[in-house]
Amino acid sequence: MARVSSGSAARSTMASKIKAYSLPLVLFAAAMFYQLFVISKSFPPTHYDVLGIAWYSSIEEVEEAYEKLSSKWNSGKEIPSATDFVKVRYAYELLSNPSWKRNYDIFGIDEQLHVVEKFKGQYAGESYSKVELPLLDAAPETEDLTLNVIASKDFQSILQNADPWLFQLFSFGSKRCAQFSVVWKRIVALLDGVANTGVVELGDVQLAAYLAEKKPTGQPFFRNGLPSLVALPQGCKTADCLIRFEGELSVDAVTDWVATTVLGLPRILYYTRDTLVPNFLVKSGPHKVKVIFFSKTGERAAPFVRQAAKNYWAYASFAFILWREEESSFWWNSLEVESAPAIVFLKDPGVKPIVHHGLVNSSWFSNIMEQNKQQELPQLRSVTSMELGCDARGYSRAGVDTTTWYCAILAGRPGTELDKMRETMRRVQKLLSNDSESKAADKEESVSPAAVALTTKRLTFAWLDGEAQKGLCFFCLHSDVSAETVYETCGPRRDLTDVPRLFIVRYKRNSTEDDMTVEVEKRPQSIWDTFQGKELDPASQLVARYNGSSEVLQV
């Protein structure tokens, strides 16, 4: 009885194990069947399958397979339908073209597949002999010498330089790439001076595969076909930081994407005649030059303009206006603009605008922007103090050998009174400049010392905002102005009284400095620090306030 009981227990244990594993085994078998037979049949046949040959067969094998099928059709042994003929003929034309076959084999590119459905519908029910050949249009494979073709040997140096790049991956023989060529050349022109551009032909398989996306199997592919645009941002040295363009292949869309996403350049807004003053001129700051573009088309700012807006943000503000003929008289009377396209530089209050009509390019605009980045009477700020030579760190516009130089600085709160005095200072500056030029032309020696100092860059004229730069304003004027009246010039406005004041700072190099040409490594945080710095400055400062009238000759 004990043996019978133990045998029954063993059989019961075995049955329970089989029952426990039966469901997983059934599911595993079903999954394998689905994987091997159902899923494989659900994939459309490849063009190689249509011809009845193995994947990656040579062009000779493709031609041989097509000849065999053609001989069957011509002999009457087998009459294909128009639909089957179109499929076979399409596969033959695609795989017998070296460029198309390479693109299909390596990158899975089949950009003219839509013609199969087109011809299937067009010749449905017709004899295959009525199908017009060839089915595919081949673009000319002539090399464009104007293209900057990038090869694998060039790419390593590109990565080392870490400059921003935009690459177009294309293929000779691609109809879409040929149609995009005109758009690409326009994009290259607009990005000149902002980002480098180049093209990579898929014949350079190693580099093209490196820049392509990768499937889970590792096969390179292009999600949206050709042409494909890939950007290399500033500082990017690996494929992990590449940025791919997935939008519309138009000039506007591509250049805006490069400027915004790749380069991080600021956008420049459009204004109307009603919003220009309150939303732009008033809000952009009194110390900045206003750069206004007039456009006929309303297109976005070119990338080189947006690059300038970033480079000169401390000096200038930028705006766009859509030109309307019905508003032409308004713009002529206010800014002297006759037509679009045009660029206007607005500097100090009361100064005549500088207007340039016509189209501009990157190099021209860079030069004209550098010439007009400062106001006629620039504001003394941290970012301009070295350039103006108005700080105690030993920087003089006249050079490192100059021992003494001067800055005539007008301080006051923004308003009508300050604008009037700024106009006076501009006239003084112009008078001294003209005096020096005229007497130099007449070879006279009796030129005023101030005119000589201005001509030799030992004298600089500037202004500062007594409200926004109150610390510097108080420091320069507190010794010569009473505590009650200094608030008429410096600090927040307390009443309606605004009194601009002029003072001159004399800078004299300290003879204790061993090497005047070595720059101070620890730079002060602001121009205010240069006046109150505790460390010994390379140049001493002496401040003298002007107490005379505001007449030009008196000043």
Where in the chain do CATH 3.40.30.10 domains reside? Answer: 152-262, 270-371
Q: Write down the pLDDT at residue 222.
A: 95
Answer whether residue 437 shows pLDDT above 70. no
Q: Write down the pLDDT at residue 220.
A: 95
Q: Write down the pLDDT at residue 40.
A: 44
DSSP code per residue over 85-141: HHHHHHHHHHHTSHHHHHHHHHH---TTTHHHHHHHHHTTTSBGGGS-S--SPPPP-
C-beta of residue 307 within 8 angstroms of C-beta of residue 266: no
CA distance 446 to 456: 16
Q: Is the dihedral of CA 282, 284, 287, 289 positive or negative?
A: negative
Q: Write down the pLDDT at residue 43.
A: 47
- 313 closest CA partner among 371, 258, 360, 383: 383
Residue range 355-368, pLDDT digits in tens? 999 999 999 999 99
Q: Write down the pLDDT at residue 38.
A: 47
Token pair 């309606």 in the structure block, residue: 496
Average pLDDT of the chain to the nearest whole number: 86
Answer whether residue 518 shows pLDDT above 70. no
Q: Residue 517 — very low, low, confident or very high, per pLDDT cuts 50/70/90?
A: very low
Average pLDDT over residues 31-50: 64
CA distance 352 to 78: 87
Which one is predicted more confidently, 277 or 38? 277
Residue range 367-414, pLDDT digits in tens? 999 999 999 999 999 888 888 988 878 788 888 888 899 999 999 999
DSSP code per residue over 444-513: -S---HHHHHHHTT-EEEEEEETTTTHHHHHHHHTTTS-HHHHTTTSSS--SS----EEEEEEEEE-TT-
Q: Write down the pLDDT at residue 42.
A: 47
Q: Is the dihedral of CA 81, 86, 89, 92 positive or negative?
A: negative
Average pLDDT over residues 42-47: 70
CA distance 191 to 186: 9
CA distance 100 to 139: 11
- 335 closest CA partner among 360, 318, 352, 321: 352
Average pLDDT over residues 24-46: 60
Q: Is the dihedral of CA 146, 152, 156, 157 positive or negative?
A: negative
Answer whether residue 433 shows pLDDT above 60. yes
Answer whether residue 15 shows pLDDT above 60. yes
In this structure, of 109-113, 210-214, 316-320, 435-439, the range with the lowest mean pLDDT score is 435-439
Answer whether residue 306 shows pLDDT above 50. yes
**Angle ∠(278,281,282) on CA atoms, nearest 5:** 60
- 538 closest CA partner among 517, 274, 526, 8: 517
Q: Write down the pLDDT at residue 2.
A: 45
Residues in the chain: 555
Answer whether residue 92 shows pLDDT above 90. yes
Domain range 270-371, CATH class: alpha beta
Q: Write down the pLDDT at residue 520.
A: 44
The two tokens of residue 535 are: 């460390």
Answer whether residue 536 shows pLDDT above 80. no
Per cent of the chain over pLDDT 90 is 55
**CATH 3.40.630.10 for the 152-262 domain, yes or no:** no
Residue range 316-354, pLDDT digits in tens? 999 999 999 999 999 999 999 999 999 999 999 889 999
Do the bridges between strand 213-214 and strand 342-346 make them parallel or antiparallel, or are there none, so unpaired? unpaired
Q: Write down the pLDDT at residue 6.
A: 55
C-beta of residue 83 within 8 angstroms of C-beta of residue 125: no
Superfamily per CATH, domain 47-130:
DnaJ domain (1.10.287.110)
Per cent of the chain over pLDDT 70 is 84
Q: Residue 307 — very low, low, confident or very high, per pLDDT cuts 50/70/90?
A: very high
Burial class (CB in 10 A: 0-12, 13-18, 19+), 194: buried
CA distance 306 to 194: 9
